Amino acid sequence: MSFTVYEGEVVSLIGPNGAGKTTAFNVVTGFMRPTQGTVKYRGTALTTLKPHQVAELGLVRTFQRSSVFQTVTVFENVMIGLHRRGESRLWDTLLALPNERRSERKLRERAAEILASVGIEHRAHDLAGSLAYGDQRLLGVAMALAADPSMLLLDEPVSGMNATETGRFMELLARLRRGGMTILLVEHDMPMVMGVSDRIVVLNYGRIIAEGPPDDIQGNPEVIRAYLGEGVKKRARGS
């Protein structure tokens, strides 16, 4: 498989279970090494890098399952992500020197901004484990945003969300895109995918069977046979 995500795009990677979507994510983000081939980001080869090194280049991902710190607050979860970017040194922190206080204040302000951007600022002081599943997914995105990504990789972000929560998430993606964020998305919710994507890449048995804008994908006979089904084609005709 070979495809490109251009700066500022929302690209969705779709396909049946077992098609290779999460494997592709794992290879891009350093959690798996490819047996052959290369992955490049802005000219830099990623295939020998560890996950934290990939993240430092600006590629940050979420996971299929919620990966928040359940026993600390929502706000503290985001602060954990932000502290990687702190400017203070060890002695500043130990002695509570002015540099540390200024840095901490900036981080707390940024954490509040991120929580507001994903719509869960009202839960800031609640334990992360007490959040509904949909809000935990949003917290996972907030933690990813805390790492200041230039490209965000989202692995089934609306899995388990109801229609209202999914709608809120689509609005969040639209805001991120307007802010210049590049997004690669793996998702099974086809109305959501069709509504947010600039381009869609379709995998089946580990190979790309189609690539293009949503309208082209909805009407592609091979994609319909392999994944979408006739129901999606009929809805597309009626829309």
Instruction: Let me know whether 195 and 221 are in one domain.
Output: yes
In a domain, 138, yes or no: no
What is the bridge-based pairing of β-strands 10-14 and 199-204?
A: parallel
pLDDT bucket at 84, cuts 50 / 70 / 90: low
Rounded to the nearest angstrom, the gap between the alpha carbon of residue 116 and the centroid of all alpha carbons in its chain is 17
In a domain, 142, yes or no: no
Amino acid occupying residue 161: M
pLDDT at 97 over 60: no
Instruction: Let me know whether 89 and 118 are in one domain.
Output: yes
3-state secondary structure of 4: coil
Residue of higher predicted confidence among 90 and 143:
143
Instruction: Let me know whether 119 and 198 are in one domain.
Output: no
Angle between helices 133-146 and 74-82 (to 10 degrees): 20
Given its phi and psi angles, is residue 156 left (phi above 0), alpha (psi -120 to 50 degrees) or beta? left
User: With contact defined as beta carbons under 8 Å apart, do 212 and 10 qualify?
Assistant: no
In a domain, 143, yes or no: no
Can you tell me the mean pLDDT for 23-28?
A: 91
In a domain, 141, yes or no: no
- Please report, rounded to a whole number, the percentage of residues in the chain having pLDDT higher than 90: 40
In a domain, 86, yes or no: yes
Can you tell me the mean pLDDT for 115-135?
A: 89
Give residue 87's domain range: 69-130
Q: Give the chain's domain count.
A: 2
pLDDT of residue 31: 92
In a domain, 135, yes or no: no
Instruction: Let me know whether 175 and 239 are in one domain.
Output: yes
pLDDT bucket at 231, cuts 50 / 70 / 90: very low
Instruction: Let me know whether 184 and 239 are in one domain.
Output: yes
**CATH number of the CATH domain containing 164:** 3.40.50.300
pLDDT at 154 over 90: yes
Residue of higher predicted confidence among 97 and 105:
105
44-61 in b/e form (b: 16+ CB < 10 A) is eebbebeeeebbebebbb
Neighbours of 6 (CB within 10 A): 9
pLDDT bucket at 90, cuts 50 / 70 / 90: very low
pLDDT bucket at 103, cuts 50 / 70 / 90: confident
Query: In sequence order, which ranges of the chain are alpha helices (DSSP H)?
Result: 21-28, 51-56, 74-82, 90-95, 98-118, 133-146, 163-178, 190-196, 214-218, 221-223, 230-238
Segment 30-72, tens digit of pLDDT: 999 988 999 999 999 999 999 989 998 999 988 766 678 888 8
pLDDT of residue 238: 46
Can you tell me the mean pLDDT for 188-193?
A: 90
CA–CA dist 212, 131 (Å, integer): 37
Given its phi and psi angles, is residue 131 left (phi above 0), alpha (psi -120 to 50 degrees) or beta? beta
In a domain, 48, yes or no: yes
User: With contact defined as beta carbons under 8 Å apart, do 156 and 193 qualify?
Assistant: no
In a domain, 12, yes or no: yes
Instruction: Let me know whether 98 and 216 are in one domain.
Output: no
Tokens standing for residue 145: 């945003």
Instruction: Let me know whether 171 and 119 are in one domain.
Output: no
pLDDT of residue 125: 93
